[in-house]
Amino acid sequence: MAEFDVDLFVIGGGSGGVRAARIAAGYGAKVMVAEEYRMGGTCVIRGCVPKKLFVIGSHVHDEIEDAAGFGWSIGQVSFDWATLVANKDKEIARLEGAYTTNVEKSGARIAKTRAVLEDAHTIRLATGEKVTAKYILIATGGAPNHGPIVPGIEHVISSNEAFHLKELPKRIVIQGGGYIALEFAGIFAGFGSDVTVIYRGDNILRGFDEDVRKHVRAEMEKRGITIITGCTVAKIEKHGRDFTTHLSSGSSIASDQVMFAIGRHPNVANLGLETAGVAINPANGGIQVDGWSKTSVDNIYAVGDVTHRTNLTPVAIREGHAFADTVFGKRAVEVDHATIPTAVFSQPEVGTVGLTEEEARAQFSRVDVYKTDFRPIKATMSGRDTRVLMKLVVDGASDRVLGCHIVGDGAAEITQAVAIAVKMKATKADFDATIALHPTASEELVTMRTPTARHVRQAAE
């Protein structure tokens, strides 16, 4: 008789958990996955996939406006929010089915229920069933965080609810200055909403390159989005179907929807972590893990947003795959969390990889900066007032490209390719030796020859 019911029990059916389950099953492990909501997790069900679909839809308004400059005469057009939501729901249901099918095809069993740890090897399902496992992987992701409770917080929606609104808000107030807040600001503005963004810091996109932060804000404000920094929402009052949002600055804003997008917290509550002896990282509130995704308990691992390391879907997938390779494939694989490319699907779009100028100057004694901003070729005919930003951060001593930052159409697509070069430690000379692809915006990356700034840190005497 086997010592355990399964070799691997995965709590969470999102991207990281599913990848780990499939790879482990492929190595011959007996695997079970528990998911209490819907297979696919945050990214597929209520995150990056539906958000990108909404972003694409919101761009159509710009395309219609731009068409006139290219000779197109487009008559009366209309937009129906309910149709967008319904079609999005169909696509998400299809993807959920694909995730489920792929896990089952791998040979793993799925339990559509909540799972809680009873000890280091025992999991109790909400159905009453108990399962013992040699290894346990926690991949429960994260959830929206509303931050400090303010009066009227019950009237606030998060990104979760934004995907299921019955109507498109005519006016919406969004608190937050990161990925999610700015992406939804662009989405709602693109569909015709009056959008106000409230952020406590001095400027949006904290942690990004300063030039990127300034450029994105300027471009968003050109599009009619109001951005108020240096204050927070102090209170929300409801008046019939409308709301009044009171700010810490003393001013107030009327709207018919209020959304908070001020961060996410790891889903660690009520999982039985304390009972099993799994430690929480006091620095970030996520499950504490080592470089191999192992927790404080030898046979329990955790990947993805629940660890609060780098909260990106591809990172969770890479961590889940590496875990399965290491534990079941007998091939030790440690994930390299350095030089991870990322994108913000704001409008304009941001793509970035590597160090910001500020980070590079703190780490390297000589830093060269190559920067350009220009009117994209489309805008020369459409007449749209918009500019693209491209920036390379280079180690002045070794000539290695340390970072690349792009703001504009296709920024994410360009950055994915550039990330390969940055990961390979390509030099500025390698970029310069690459023949430009003309006419494209991205050719600027291989034609910028003269530094716009050079920084030399004097050695301490």
Chain position carrying tokens 């942690």: 207
Task: Give CA angle at 350 (347, 356), nearest 5°.
Answer: 145
CB < 8 Å & 24+ apart, contacts of 163-167: 163/46, 163/50, 163/51, 163/54, 163/85, 163/88, 164/85, 165/81, 165/85, 165/257, 166/82, 167/81
- Is 438 a known active-site residue? yes
What is the identity of the amino acid at 223?
R
Spatial neighbors of 397 by CB under 8 A, at least 6 apart, are: 364, 365, 366
Task: Give CA angle at 136 (132, 138), nearest 5°.
Answer: 135
Q: Are 238 and 280 in contact (CB under 8 A)?
A: no
CA 294 to mean position of chain CA atoms: 24
Length of the chain: 461
Token pair of 256, please?
């018919």
Distance (Å, whole) CA 407 – CA 439: 18
Residue 31: count of CB within 10 angstroms of its CB? 29
Say which of 121, 405, 438, 455 is annotated catalytic.
Answer: 438
Distance (Å, whole) CA 93 – CA 100: 11
H/E segment holding residue 28:
none
Residue 121: closest CA among 242, 5, 283: 5
Token pair of 376, please?
């994209």
Question: Strand, helix or coil at 238?
Answer: strand
Q: Which residues in 309-459 belong to E strands, given as ranges? A: 342-344, 350-354, 366-374, 388-395, 401-407, 453-456
Distance (Å, whole) CA 191 – CA 79: 8
Catalytic residues: 438
